[in-house]
Structure 1
Amino acid sequence: MGTVSLPDTWAYALRLPHDPRAARVARMTVRAVLSGHGRLDELDSVELLTSELVGNAYRHTGGPASLRLTALADGRLRVGVWDSHPRIPAPFGEPPWDRAPLPPADADSGRGLGLVPEYADSWGGWPLGDSPLGRGAGKLLWFEVGGARTPRTPHRCP
């Protein structure tokens, strides 16, 4: 009888309703998935950044969000969060397209996405255009950690 070898790559997806508990559910999911796959070195940073992205999706949209965790063959972990709003916040966007700036350091709120350059190895985002129903399809924001270290710079596409 042969042995079973676990794959190096995997993906998990979670649909999140517009609910104030969505960030907590996303954190619990990240913790379960990364713990189950022995990726504890990245757990704290991935949990933090995922919580920020999902929390922003709740605060700035009236609809659901989706979370996708993907282990890539080279050891990187990619986290993507989709929501229904097309505006790309800093630091994910690239001028001149629709970019929301980071708030000042002394602002009472809104500084969470500024953690992305501190904890992620790469990140990016893009608007998803129009849906067949004539409404905006929202945006996808993503970040990566782990694998071969590269300069920490934003990218438009993964």
Structure 2
Amino acid sequence: MPEPSSLCPIAAPGDKPPVPPAPEALAYSLTLPSAPRSPAIARAATRTVLKAHGLDDVTDAAVQVVGEMAACSYRLAPAAEVYVSLRYRDDTLRVVLYDAHPRHTHPRLAAACDARRRAALRVLACVVKECAGDWGFGDAREPGGGTRMWAVLPRGGARGYGTGKSSEPGPASR
């Protein structure tokens, strides 16, 4: 007798068996404490999820981006939780991280804090640029407030990350 494909007692017999995860089905979220070990946990989870969905070719860039965001968040909001989201759509990986660090209302404090965050994310900026992606940060649109950081990594650009091959043709190759 074949194994049922569902534990639900009212599932129709002959339901299709589960299919392995595809890149287009990648949609994961993770909440972590803002702690020194959290960037490593976020990197490991990212690596596992990407491999499960057949996106091994973007792992190096994605793991670097997630680690940089989580480390920045820990330095700026060390007593709260962080929320990490990974989504893959239209050949692009989107990474979003929310932290509890409030956006400042005083213009000079806001500018100073933004400059510190931007400086803390300079490696992320280089990774995203090499992948021909985009990134930024701003107010979190959640009831708890805080800061939202995001990065967009096109698969084609992220594939070439760390290989020494530029994601965009240089002047010599045009």
TM-score, normalising length from structure 2?
0.64
Cα deviation digits, residues 50-85 of structure 1 (max 9, x gap) = 10110111111120101000011x110000000001
Pick from 88, 105, 127: which aligns with 1:71? 88
Aligned to 1:34: 50
| Structure 1 residue 148 displacement after superposition | 6.8
Structure 1 spans left out of the alignment, 5+ residues: 89-94, 104-109, 153-158
CA RMSD of aligned residues (A): 3.3
- Amino acid in structure 2 at the alignment position of 1:30: T
How many equivalent pairs are there?
134
Cα deviation digits, residues 118-154 of structure 1 (max 9, x gap) = 22201122212683xxxx61011110112477xx9xx
Q: Is the 2:30–2:83 contact (alpha carbons within 8 Å) kept by the matching residues of 1?
A: yes
Aligned to 1:107: none
Aligned to 1:141: 149
Aligned to 1:91: none
The structure-2 alpha-carbon separation of the partners of 1:130 and 1:14, relative to structure 1 and needing over 3 Å to count, comes to closer
Q: Which has the higher strand share?
A: 1
Q: Is the 1:102–1:114 contact (alpha carbons within 8 Å) kept by the matching residues of 2?
A: no
* Residue 123 of structure 2 corresponds to residue 123 of structure 1: no
Q: Secondary structure at 1:19's aligned position in 2?
A: coil
Q: Secondary structure at 1:101's aligned position in 2?
A: helix
> Within 5 A, what are the aligned runs for 1:8-157?
8-61=24-77, 62-72=79-89, 74-87=90-103, 98-99=110-111, 100-101=114-115, 111-120=119-128, 121-128=133-140, 131=143, 137-147=145-155
TM-score, normalising length from structure 1?
0.70
| Structure 1 residue 5 displacement after superposition | 7.8
Q: Is the 2:21–2:53 contact (alpha carbons within 8 Å) kept by the matching residues of 1?
A: no
The structure with the larger Rg is 2
Q: Which has the higher helix share?
A: 2
Distance 1:58 1:101 in 2: 16
